[in-house]
A = this chain, B = another copy of it.
């Protein structure tokens, strides 16, 4: 349990320290199919799945191995999937001030599969879109297609 909620103790600054670079690159960067495991705050049962993270840098890029670390920090807490999605997106916005950020999460919720309605094949999809990912439909569409 301590491990599963270790995200509360993580320091985002420490994680990103030294992992921000200035490169001449202005297209979308996507880190896709990041496995995550989290705990549903209502039933204390795990939910887990794949997370796709994208952003369009303004001047700085993040070392790509840091993106999954950020996903871990926020998923190792008591969460609902909607909030978890938002928190990852906001964290990247604050860290590198990009032109836009997009996060899509697919989740299998054991509270749905193990008990109650017992739908063993259902999945939940949430997304958070900031900056150009929110204002420009083509940017969203490109993210969806590249992350397939």
Which residue numbers of A lie inside 8 Å of B, CB to CB? 3-4, 21, 23-25, 27-35, 37, 42, 45-46, 48, 50, 61, 63-65, 68-69, 72, 80-83, 85-86, 104, 109-129, 137-138, 140-142, 144-147
Contact = CB atoms under 8 A, between A and B. Distances in A.
Oligomeric state, in copies? 10
A44 B12 CA distance: 25
A69 B144 CA distance: 29
Contact of A86 (B24, B63, B137): B24
Nearest 4 Cβ contacts at the A-B interface: A30-B125, A37-B114, A25-B82, A68-B117
Contacts of A69: 116-117
27 contacts: A3-B115, A4-B115, A21-B80, A23-B82, A25-B82, A25-B128, A27-B128, A29-B82, A31-B124, A31-B125, A32-B122, A32-B125, A35-B113, A35-B120, A37-B113, A46-B114, A64-B109, A68-B122, A72-B117, A118-B118, A120-B120, A120-B121, A125-B147, A137-B138, A141-B141, A142-B144, A144-B145
